[in-house]
Chains A and B, each alone.
Chain A
């Protein structure tokens, strides 16, 4: 597994969150596969030059969210489950991505219908197996 974690200090993102985020992304993208072992808390803390408690907290959160699993005496591994974020977190990330998208697109002068068409085409290319039928209530 290639686990590249970059820590930026002085950022508005706490270090523990940077670790959670980057491991989550590595699992999501497939860079880290289910069953892959993670470095020990101590080893990762030394590599990143951060307090081991910070790494332990990140691992704990990821175990709680089902991204990682801890096997007593053996270490911490990438869990089988692919759904790596909680519902609230998925929602938050969707909103965040949406904000960026809307901000960029707003000044380009497309109509809403054009943008929806475009998005539908891109979505069907990117995620062909996802059901796209939307039920309106």
Chain B
């Protein structure tokens, strides 16, 4: 059952004495849409480049489609689609010529997919790439990446700078690709609403440290907000493992907690509140609380199966 297209083992990167990626153990399940999250400079792009063998790890290793990332063969590379940050294209080629040029590097090249994506983003095949808007250029790059029908698609911040319409097209294309159960997408993003829509798994890097690697559902289950109502002024917030955030009003105390357990429940009850009610918490708020300013990196959310 445990079929992973990417696995990293203690993958570490230093630039000089600066640790960019702390020993990282990550597993990307086959068939998932895997959201790779973290603040700017958390080490996401470096991790992706190490996975692809474009950056040499300082320590540790990564396996991609079963092969060590330092020795990926051309055949294996052809099964990976990589959309780098920034969407670089040759400006003097037309949209169609870009496809023709790129197709020569691949044994598999599906013009149907290419034209489908080009069309989906509303591009004219005769337009020169330098005349395209940012969103259109993203569409072109996506078409170039998808046409070889890669088994594994790695998108580094694909939505950066896209307008809402282009972003929607991007998400639709991502869902379209994973219609086939053996296709996997790993994408990094800051747009949690996009992640919320399409991702089923997430990993969170926080200042080079992995803080979560689980299904989106598990993450939303594990980061909880509860409201405790009191007859009078609430007591000071209790010492609870995993407490991310708290605020108090006249007779209410609201706590955001990671990895709630029966023990947490016991502590909350010992405060003798009038009521304890779960409160809904959006992904963005959960994420911000999780990476909040407490400066602690002690909580880790593993997958539900691992925790059992």
Residues on A lying within 8 angstroms of B by beta carbon are: 7, 9-16, 42, 45-46, 49-54, 57
Given contacts A9-B193, A15-B197, A53-B200, contact A46 B281 (CB under 8 A): no
Measured between C-beta atoms, what is the minimum distance from B45 to chain A in Å?
Answer: 24
In contact, B172 and A51 (Cβ under 8 angstroms): no
Given contacts A9-B193, A10-B192, contact A51 B175 (CB under 8 A): yes
Q: Quick check: is B228 within 8 A (CB to CB) of the other chain? A: no
Measured between beta carbons, the chain B residues less than 8 angstroms from A45 are 175
Give the one of A9, A49, A51, A54 with max B CB within 10 A. Answer: A51
Measured between C-beta atoms, what is the minimum distance from A100 to chain B in Å?
Answer: 15
In contact, A10 and B179 (Cβ under 8 angstroms): no
Q: Quick check: is B280 within 8 A (CB to CB) of the other chain? A: yes
In contact, B282 and A46 (Cβ under 8 angstroms): no
Measured between beta carbons, the chain A residues less than 8 angstroms from B51 are none
> How far is B197's CA from A10's CA once the two chains are assembled, in angstroms?
10
In contact, A49 and B196 (Cβ under 8 angstroms): no
In contact, A50 and B198 (Cβ under 8 angstroms): yes
**23 A-B pairs in the complex with CB atoms less than 8 angstroms apart:** A9-B192, A9-B197, A10-B192, A10-B283, A10-B284, A11-B282, A13-B280, A14-B196, A14-B280, A15-B196, A15-B197, A46-B172, A46-B175, A49-B168, A49-B171, A49-B197, A50-B197, A50-B198, A51-B33, A52-B175, A53-B200, A54-B200, A57-B217
Measured between beta carbons, the chain A residues less than 8 angstroms from B198 are 49-51
In contact, B193 and A14 (Cβ under 8 angstroms): no
Q: How large is the interface on B (under 10, 10 to 19, 20 to 34, 35 or more residues)?
A: 20 to 34
Q: Of A10, A49, A51, which is within 8 A of B282 by CB?
A: A10
> How far is B17's CA from A89's CA once the two chains are assembled, in angstroms?
55
Measured between beta carbons, the chain B residues less than 8 angstroms from A50 are 197-198
Measured between beta carbons, the chain A residues less than 8 angstroms from B175 are 45-46, 49, 51-52
Measured between beta carbons, the chain B residues less than 8 angstroms from A52 are 175
Measured between C-beta atoms, what is the minimum distance from A60 to chain B in Å?
Answer: 12
Q: Quick check: is B129 within 8 A (CB to CB) of the other chain? A: no
* CB under 8 Å from chain A, chain B span 214-235: 217, 220
Closest residue of B by beta carbon distance from A50: B197
In contact, B281 and A12 (Cβ under 8 angstroms): yes
Q: Quick check: is B3 within 8 A (CB to CB) of the other chain? A: no
Measured between beta carbons, the chain A residues less than 8 angstroms from B168 are 49
Measured between C-beta atoms, what is the minimum distance from B175 to chain A in Å?
Answer: 6
In contact, B199 and A12 (Cβ under 8 angstroms): no
Measured between beta carbons, the chain A residues less than 8 angstroms from B199 are 51
Measured between beta carbons, the chain B residues less than 8 angstroms from A53 are 200
* Known A50-B197, A50-B198, A51-B33; 12 more pairs at CB < 8 Å: A9-B193, A10-B196, A12-B285, A13-B282, A14-B220, A14-B280, A15-B197, A46-B175, A49-B175, A49-B197, A51-B175, A57-B217
> How far is B284's CA from A79's CA once the two chains are assembled, in angstroms?
35
Closest residue of B by beta carbon distance from A7: B197
> How far is B168's CA from A124's CA once the two chains are assembled, in angstroms?
48
Measured between beta carbons, the chain B residues less than 8 angstroms from A14 are 196, 220, 280, 283
Contact with A along B69-80 (1 / 0, CB 8 A): 000000000000
> How far is B196's CA from A105's CA once the two chains are assembled, in angstroms?
37
> How far is B281's CA from A112's CA once the two chains are assembled, in angstroms?
35
Q: Of A13, A15, A42, which is within 8 A of B179 by CB?
A: A42
